[in-house]
Chain A
Amino acid sequence: MTEASHEIVERALAASRADGCVVIASESSTVNLRWANNTLTTNGAARDRSVTVISIVGRSFGVRSVSSIDSGSGGGSETADKLAELVWSSEAAAKDADEAEDYADLLTPGQPGTATAGPGGEAFDEPARRTSTSVFSTFATDLGEALRAARAEGRALYGFAEHDLTTTWLGTSTGVRLRHSQPTGTVEWNAKNGQPGGSVWHGQSTHDFADVDVAATDAELRRRLAWCARSIDLPAGRYETLLPPSAVSDLILDAYWSAAGRDAAEGRTVFSRAGGGTRLGEAFGPAGLRLFSDPNDSELSCTPFVSASHSSATSSVFDNGLALGRTNWFDDGKLAALVHTRASARAAGTSATPFIDNLIMDGGGTATLDEMVASTKRGLLLTCLWYIREVDPEVLLLTGLTRDGVYLVENGEVTGAVNNFRFNESPVSALGRITEIGAATRTLGREWADWFTLSRMPALRIPDFNMSSVSPAS
């Protein structure tokens, strides 16, 4: 019999002899389907579980985690022994460790800044919620129809659908008890028609697959494949470019991940000011541009408290249980906040603004992507970006590829499919060159979809996006 995670948290805390202790337990269940060449390739269902114990001795900490405290032969005293062994192992690690630079007193219930379950919140002792293949019941049927139609009509479909439900319990020796369940679903489609450049993509982030419309997606894929009937070769160069929300999400995520306040203050990021300090308050984008995170966003809700199993420039184990709220990273085009733990915030003389698992950009635009195409005299319309890597952190120069759909727009209409390009661009620089911001829509960045699925982005018009070279890939 497997012990409930909330009980494990309580027993680990009870076993602790350290000055402070944080226990994070998680249980996840996931199901997936993968297809290629119009047939299923792999599929699966898996459950995972982990217990992480962070012991604090003096001003030092040690972390130990396991996926299971069960020996395999039963529970009872043997399980209790394994849990105690885990706790004591983390205490020994804390005694071995240096004093932590990010040391802070653990948060207590009721202290300003400490998260609360809130009205309607999840009870700490609820069992884990689980997903199952039933989440795909409608989707799998519709997928089967789409695969059959593609076979009959000479298209090839490739893709992947996954649904994960992870429940996290957080308990501290100071009395904090928090719990959160996070559903995460994605579905990605790639359709090919065998013609040069005839490859298109659509990605979607979803909580529960109820909003996944296979027929509508298939229709959009077919519309884009039709754009590929005319193939156009264009050379490398700077082009007016319509970045769709997926591409914007991937590019701006790199900026978000580079926004550690401490690193910026030390002079080693794009957000460092020459001569010392940071670029807070500096205008990077047009007036009205906002970039923010909000765990309580109705469409993109995510964990509303800090749950950190390690310390870094952007996280601190001592902040576990800290409430997360809306944080404006860019406000009216100006850099408004950098990612700060409580410790780095103290050093910077500001308030803590921890990393949050969603990201939203809004510039007040209302135009749909189709409307932006219609108002384009000549430019490129992209589908998504791929293999994005940092080239120069000083300016956050990124390189990467366009993928599965670059279209030439002339006089308001798509006139053909263009070859792919390698780009070399800085998203921070590109913000300052925006000439149009579209309506923000929920999207899935293709490059970083394995790590970050909750974003709402507008399409952006960049007048001179740097397509550094031509890629023959299609």
Chain B
Amino acid sequence: MSIAASPGAGAPGTPPHDVDPEFLALPRTALTDAALQTARDLGASHADIRIERLRDGSLSFRDGNLESSHDGSTVGFAVRVVHEGTWGFAAGVDLTVDEAVRVAREAVEIAKVARPLNSEPIELVDEPVHADATWVSAYRVNPFAIDTRDQIDRIAGLCRTLLASPDVDHVDGHFNGVQENKYYADLAGTSTTQQRVRVICQLEATKVDPAGGFETMRTIAPPVGRGWEWLIAGPAAGCWDWDAEIETIPGLLAEKAKASSVTPGRYDLVIDPSNLWLTIHESVGHATELDRALGYEAAYAGTSFATLDKLGNLRYGSPLMNVTGDRTAPHGLATIGYDDEGVATSRWDIVRSGTLVGYQLDRRMTAANAAALGVSRSNGCAFADSPGHVPIQRMANVSLAAAPGGPSTEDLIRGVDRGIYIVGDKSWSIDMQRYNFQFTGQRFYEIRKGRIVGQLRDVAYQATTTDFWGALDGLGGEQTYVLGGAFNCGKGQPGQVAAVSHGAPATLFRGVNILNTRHEAGR
């Protein structure tokens, strides 16, 4: 047995866990033998099988009351083949040998149907074989091992604390925990068994103006590749301080509701990692997915301005900009031992000193573009969000490096004469080539002569990706670095969602265009 990373590796304080015995009890070997042998007998040059189980638990709260509670489990498997140079893919839910044979045959049949439409024979780059490998993510407490009543009490308690404030009229709360088990095997001999756990909890307070209108403020705690400890263990254990954040929100919301509406124009921005993670996601993460750059997503998620011919010469941003792709970061939502093509995961450079130097890859794209990429191995970004979907290239944890020994957020603010400090994400949108974007946030603090003087409202920042990153003029140190992220990154047809994290330090950007959203609405 090979181990990609010791359970909990790189995440101090997280104990090792075994793979869920219920998943291990599924008939993995029997299905694998049946499916792969069928595919081989039918002439497939490549065949792989994924058997997956997804547990998904959610709680929603309205004004401190439990609104809905759900716990679901999805089990199924998929067979993917390359047959006469064409992909074939089929999936089923009945975990029987007969069904495995049927699905493998169907995958080959689909490849035959598709063959006349395919003008580019599929080849996969060679990868080392990982036989019988196991990997488990770093977490302390599996959320599915916790009594639901305890979860309800903890989150409802936070909601009710918020609601007790006279400055809060309504509170919406949501918690989602996921346990993802994946088994992968292919004709080359790789077989991997993996388990990941992740959680997200968000609470939003609303203040209604009796004369009309309302304002909201949401917690900025990120989703993480951790367990239930994220809700209870506190900062001493590397987890979120929920009680401290909840305590601040009513006052911040009241201040925001009374804040001045921003005067549009160009401002220096100090951007907190709780906001910048989403800008990184949209303007760097998606832009450096090779499938977009090659046009595979042209009809749906879009393409990228960062085309393959610009590798090594595109000036993406200022020399301060260093961005990595990383599927090994502790507690990252895209962190895993092996991807859905059996490739061991890694960390690599995407932007180095402001220049584009790398992409996110899978085996097929790497094989087809090895010379232009200057690499001979995939960097392990194939992922399918469920047993019923085909793996496509999905995002690694794409993160902006902090400045070693760099300044604090307060130091960055001190370097601004007229600016805005932006905290928390809210609205986001970017165009189909990842040029033009617009983001808002949870809180906007006006900076005058190096000091915060109060909140502003109705703020949105709008820019072109390379102009924005070219305006990067200050990076915070490691002490400002936070891993943000999302559970719900969408891509592909049929649509798939993926969880991904993005780390960033506090940052300073010069002269960014600020809109007033009330003006934009014609008010």
- Interface residues, chain A, CB within 8 Å of chain B? 2, 30, 32-50, 52, 62-68, 70-74, 89, 93, 96-98, 100-101, 133, 136, 140, 143-144, 147, 151, 156, 158-160, 162, 188-190, 192, 201, 266-268, 272-276, 309-313, 317, 386-395, 397, 399-401, 403, 420, 422, 424-426, 429, 450, 466, 468-474
Contact = CB atoms under 8 A, between A and B. Distances in A.
B495 A450 contact: yes
8 contacts: A37-B120, A37-B295, A66-B73, A72-B95, A151-B119, A425-B521, A468-B515, A473-B432
Nearest to A98: B66
B488 interface: no
A275 B209 CA distance: 8
B213 A274 contact: yes
Contact of B299 (A38, A66, A158): A158
Contacts of A266: 169-170, 208
Nearest to A164: B494
Given A41-B296, A144-B116, A65 B73 contact: yes
B148 A96 contact: yes
Contacts of B87: 40-43
Given A42-B390, A47-B93, A93-B69, A399 B75 contact: no
A364 B206 CA distance: 40
Interface of B: 26-27, 31, 60, 62, 65-76, 78, 86-96, 106, 109-111, 113-114, 116-120, 147-149, 152, 156, 169-170, 206, 208-214, 216, 294-300, 302, 305, 388-390, 392, 427-436, 438, 440, 458, 460, 462, 464, 490, 493-495, 515, 517-518, 520-523
A312 B223 CA distance: 22
Contacts of A397: 517, 520-521
Contacts of B434: 473
A160 B433 contact: no
Nearest to A161: B493
Contacts of B74: 50, 66-67
Contacts of B522: 429, 466
A329 to B, nearest CB: 22
Contacts of B31: 72
B75 A401 contact: no
A189 B495 CA distance: 16
Nearest to A313: B62
6 nearest interchain CB pairs?
A274-B212, A72-B95, A473-B433, A424-B520, A190-B299, A44-B89
B303 to A, nearest CB: 8
A386 B433 CA distance: 12
A64 B438 contact: no
A48 B76 contact: yes
A73 B31 CA distance: 11
A67 B76 contact: yes
B100 to A, nearest CB: 10
Chain B CB count within 10 A is highest, among A34, A52, A272, for A34
Contact of A44 (B69, B94, B110, B214): B110
A384 to B, nearest CB: 11
B76 A472 contact: no
Given A40-B117, A44-B390, A65 B429 contact: no
Given A158-B295, A424-B517, 20 more contacts: A33-B117, A38-B119, A39-B117, A44-B89, A63-B69, A67-B74, A68-B76, A68-B93, A72-B94, A162-B494, A266-B208, A312-B60, A312-B68, A313-B62, A317-B68, A392-B521, A394-B214, A395-B521, A471-B436, A473-B435
Contact of A46 (B91, B429, B462): B91
Contacts of A275: 210-212
Given A38-B119, A43-B87, A473-B432, A188 B300 contact: yes
A446 B434 CA distance: 18
Contacts of B296: 36-37, 41
Contacts of B212: 272-275
A250 to B, nearest CB: 13
Contacts of A190: 298-299
B347 to A, nearest CB: 27
A401 B65 contact: no
Nearest to B109: A133
A143 B116 CA distance: 10
A335 B156 CA distance: 35
B117 A45 contact: no
Nearest to A262: B62
A72 B120 contact: no
A66 B433 CA distance: 39
Contact of A276 (B147, B210, B435, B462): B210
B313 to A, nearest CB: 19
A401 B437 CA distance: 10
